[in-house]
Amino acid sequence: MAEGALPRDEWEALAAERALGVIAGEDLARAMRLELSDPDFAAEVEAWHRRFGALFAEVEPVSPPEGVWQAIATRIQAASGGSVSALRAVRRWRAGAVAATVVAACLALVLLFRGPTEQVPVPVPSPTSAGPMAVAQLSGPEADSPSLAARYDPADATLHVSASKVSPASGMAPELWVIPDDGVPRSLGLIPAKGTSQVTVPQGDRSFLTDGSVLALTYEDAQTAPHEKPGMAPVALGTISVL
């Protein structure tokens, strides 16, 4: 580790930020110098490129609002008197936010991977979203059970769902449910049997998409949906986590 022997967490954060292209100025210059002088740092940047590339290959880039991180740093600096430890905390917090998103998405890829060529695309949180993300991975007990990844964006009340191996019988359709603490399933409507879709969550059901609630998938009569209650046992289940 070169360049003033950065603490390991800052060194890794700088490599991740370099791979994402979210740094500028002196931070960018430092990262570029490290890439040239430290083979381990260069390898770490490349490793982050591979991780991010697999996740973001099909996602259109969206830039965060101007000055977000600088505003955070300025406020912390003002509150702390500009201490070095406080400014380092900004980097650790920023890296933590990036890492948490990546880890959650990577875990979804691992959990939903089925076979050598098939995987469920995981909806990736938008950098401009307001508020915490609610995410879940749904699966059944068998190897060929349906697999789904879901992300709820409170900014527009949209549930983004990616599905694989969803195979309802003729005349039936996959219906998604949320089951909060009271144990009563609420229908979120029908979803396509494969690919990625978006569901606008009804106003009365948005408060149920919280940490610990359950998302469930059943196969229901396509002509009479949405239903008041499920007509069968779930074929896939997953617990919601709020990031």
- pLDDT tens for each residue of 37-58: 788 888 888 888 776 665 555 4
Domain range for residue 163? 134-242
Q: Is the pLDDT of residue 239 over 80?
A: yes
Pair 78, 157 in one domain: no
126 is a domain residue: no
Strand blocks (E) in 86-171: 134-139, 147-153, 158-164
Cα distance between residue 63 and residue 54, in whole Å: 19
Q: Average the pLDDT over 132-161 and give the result.
A: 86
179 is a domain residue: yes
Pair 96, 154 in one domain: no
118 is a domain residue: no
3-state secondary structure of 63: coil
The model's pTM: 0.49
Residue 205 DSSP symbol: G
Residue 103 has a pLDDT of 44
37 is a domain residue: yes
Q: Average the pLDDT over 69-93 and give the result.
A: 54
| Cα 167 to chain centroid, rounded | 25
